[in-house]
Structure 1
Amino acid sequence: MSRWTWPAYVGVIGGVVVFVMFLLPVVVWQYRRYGRLSGLRLLGSAAVAVYGVALVAYTLLPLPSGDLAQWCTQHGFSGPQLNPFQFVEDIRRDTAGLSAAATLRSPAVLQTVFNVVLFVPWGVLVRRFFGWRLPLTVASAFAASLLIETTQGTGIFGLIPCSYRLADVDDLLTNTLGGLVGALIAPVVLRWMPRSTDLAAQRGVPRRVTVWRRWLGMLLDAALVSAVGFVLVLSYRVVLVAVGREVPLGQGPVEVLLGTVVPVVLVLFVPPFLGSGASWGQRAMWLEPRWAPDTAEGPIGPDGLGRGTTARRAVRGLSTGGLWGLCLILADLPAGLLPDVAAPLGGLVAFVAVVSVLFTRDRRGLSGVVSGARVVDARS
């Protein structure tokens, strides 16, 4: 695999991995920003991830390995190339006496053309996908190229004891030119891409409650429990290291409290008592439970529904999500009968909650059936 192609493979594989890692936050962002999911904008996000990883691979990888001092002695650069348009002289010298076809295939020409082409996607994506104006797009290409050249020239800001790649002012010029070309052709190349501002203008339009929206809300709640627990436990262990105490290898009472109990309380037990009673995941998806007038309190909306009493909201929120969270807590208790029962019971509760959305009216799910609630679009 040549030095021209392996970074492309790294970009595709690494970009897909990065996109999958950030898919859920991107989905939440789209729902909150646009009021719905845009498949074409998701495709654009994937393109940004692939291009970003490929750009890093082409400009900063591979890194030196082994004895860095010896590597720098043999391969390091003494300093940056600061003579503008030096590439013109390099092309003239390297292609002297060559035919036109051979000139186009010469490394000096290919390197210059590649430096331009490398930043064309930058201009396209920043101008059309992110919606920046032409001057800002070109300025961002210049800034990104300057950061790359500085990183190369300083050995990743001192992590490597030499300039492991040549920091070249001509790369800065040709990269910026590529960004300009991409910005100019962006309106044509990405005409099919919906503009963020156009989608955001429809943000307040109520939309049908679908199975996928309900499932995404559930997935967000589960992911939020895990994320909050991870951050709290990690923070606790960082504090232990900072004060010079030994980090426990197993899961002790503090880890159970921070990693399971607190996240379950914050994510699953608290929301039913706040506002509409919707979970955090449902709020992200513009969903909320509502009740018929005879079981509601407060004002009745145009749809003839209102917010339920505190008791009904508590029953709805705790009947599935709360029960699942309780099973999570019991499953983390010290060894005994309860963890052996709680873990499979929690899995069963989660399965029933997910499947029940398919077979209940208005996609209300088991919690809606138990509490008498309907799940509607919060903007209706």
Structure 2
Amino acid sequence: MSTWTWPAYVGVVGGVLLFGLLLVPIVLFQVRRYGALNGRRLAASAAVSVYGVALVAYTLLPLPTGDVAAWCADHGYTSAQLDPFQFVRDIRDATAGEPLTVALRSPAVLQVVLNVVLFVPWGAIVRRFLGWGLVPTVLSAFGASLLIETTQYTGIFGLIPCSYRLGDVDDLLTNTLGGLIGALAAPLLLRWLPRPRDLAPHRGEPRPVTAWRRWFGMALDAAAFAAVGVVLDVAYRLALDAAGRPLPTGQDAADWVLGAVVPFAVVFVWPALVGGRASWGQRAAWLAPAWSGRPRPVLRAAVPGGLWGACVIVASLPAAWDVPDVAAAARAAAVLTAAVAVASVPLTRDRRGLSGVVSGAVVRDVRTDDAAVGQSDRPSPSRTP
């Protein structure tokens, strides 16, 4: 694999992994900002992830390995290339006397072409995907290139004791040119991609309550449950370390309370008592429960979400309490409860799910005019972002 192609492989593999890690935040951002998920912008987000990793791979990798001081002595640069258009002279010297077809394939020419092409996607992405104007897009390409060249020249701001790649003013010029070309071509190349300003005005329009939206809300609740537990548990251990106290070798009672009990209260108990009585995941998906008779928000929160959370609490009991059979049964019950909750959504009227069947609630889009729906999440028509 050549030095020209391996960063592309790194970009594809790393970009796919990065997109997978950011998928939930990306979807959440789209749903909240635009009112619904847009498949074309989601696909564009995946492409942006791949491009971002590839850009880093082409400009900052590989890093020196082994004895870095010895590597710097043999391969490091002592200064930057600050002579504008030096690449013109380099090409002329490298291709002197060569036929045009041969000269166009020389490394000196290909290096300049790559520097331009590398930033064409930058210009297209910033202009169309982010919705910036032409001048801000070109300035962003200049700023990104300047950051890259500075990072190279300073050895990642001192982490490497030398300039491990040549900081070159010509790279800054050719990268910016690539950004300009991409920005100019963006309206044509990315006509298929809706711009933020095309989607944002429709944010307040009600959408059908689909099984996918219901499942998305469930997934966000489960993710919030896990995230709150991880954050609190890490904070607890950092506090112990800061206080000079020994860290527990396994899960102790405090880990269990912070990692399971508190998240249960935050994710499943609290939302049922405030606002429109929707879970945090439902609020993010513009959903809320509504009742034609007496509201039963606690019952709705308890089945199946609260039941699943309670099973997780029991399943995560500290090993020191020596209840492996109870924990194993709770894990099985948690899996079964989750499966029933997911399967019940498309099998029930109006996608109300098991919680709606038990509590007599239906699930509505909060942007409808139905007065029975909680109004706390309704977007103001005069404040479209």
Q: What range describes the TM-score normalised by the shorter chain of this pair?
A: over 0.9
- 1:195 maps to amino acid: R
Deviations 1:89-109 (A, max 9, x none): 111111111111111011111
Q: CA RMSD in A?
A: 1.0
Distance 1:118 1:323 in 2: 52
- Unaligned 5+ segments in structure 2 are 369-385
Q: 1:238 matched to which residue of 2?
A: 238
1:235 CA drift (Å) = 1.6
Distance 1:145 1:348 in 2: 52
Distance 2:240 2:87 in 1: 54
1:379 partner SS:
coil
Distance 1:192 1:339 in 2: 51
How many aligned positions are there?
364
Distance 1:318 1:229 in 2: 19
- 2:35 maps to amino acid: G
- 2:348 maps to amino acid: T
- 1:335 maps to amino acid: D
Distance 2:335 2:109 in 1: 61
The answer to whether residue 331 in structure 2 is matched with residue 343 in structure 1 is yes
Q: For 1:23-42, what aligned pairs fall within 5 Å after superposition?
A: 23-42=23-42
Deviations 1:278-318 (A, max 9, x none): 100011111111011xx14xxxxxxxxxxx2xxx0111111
1:241 CA drift (Å) = 2.4
Deviations 1:223-247 (A, max 9, x none): 1111111111112222222233222
Q: Which moved more, 1:119-128 or 1:270-279?
A: 270-279
The answer to whether residue 22 in structure 2 is matched with residue 43 in structure 1 is no
Q: 2:158 matched to which residue of 1?
A: 158
- 2:176 maps to amino acid: T
1:22 partner SS:
helix
The answer to whether residue 307 in structure 2 is matched with residue 323 in structure 1 is yes
Q: For 1:101-120, what aligned pairs fall within 5 Å after superposition?
A: 101-120=101-120
Q: 1:64 matched to which residue of 2?
A: 64
Q: 2:183 matched to which residue of 1?
A: 183
Distance 1:4 1:247 in 2: 47
Deviations 1:168-223 (A, max 9, x none): 01000100010000000000000110111111111111111111111111011001
- Unaligned 5+ segments in structure 1 are 297-307
1:358 partner SS:
helix
Match of 2:357 among 344, 348, 369: 369
1:36 CA drift (Å) = 0.7
Distance 2:113 2:258 in 1: 54
Q: 2:77 matched to which residue of 1?
A: 77
Distance 2:85 2:237 in 1: 53
Q: TM-score, normalised by structure 2?
A: 0.93
1:341 CA drift (Å) = 2.4
Distance 1:349 1:192 in 2: 41
Q: 1:305 matched to which residue of 2?
A: none
Q: For 1:134-153, what aligned pairs fall within 5 Å after superposition?
A: 134-153=134-153
Q: 1:121 matched to which residue of 2?
A: 121
The 4+ residue runs of structure 1 with deviation greater than 3 A are none
Distance 2:351 2:322 in 1: 38
Distance 2:316 2:16 in 1: 34
1:125 CA drift (Å) = 0.3
1:358 CA drift (Å) = 1.8
Q: Which moved more, 1:327-336 or 1:13-22?
A: 327-336
Deviations 1:107-148 (A, max 9, x none): 111101110110000000000000000000000000000000
Q: For 1:192-207, what aligned pairs fall within 5 Å after superposition?
A: 192-207=192-207
Identity %: 63
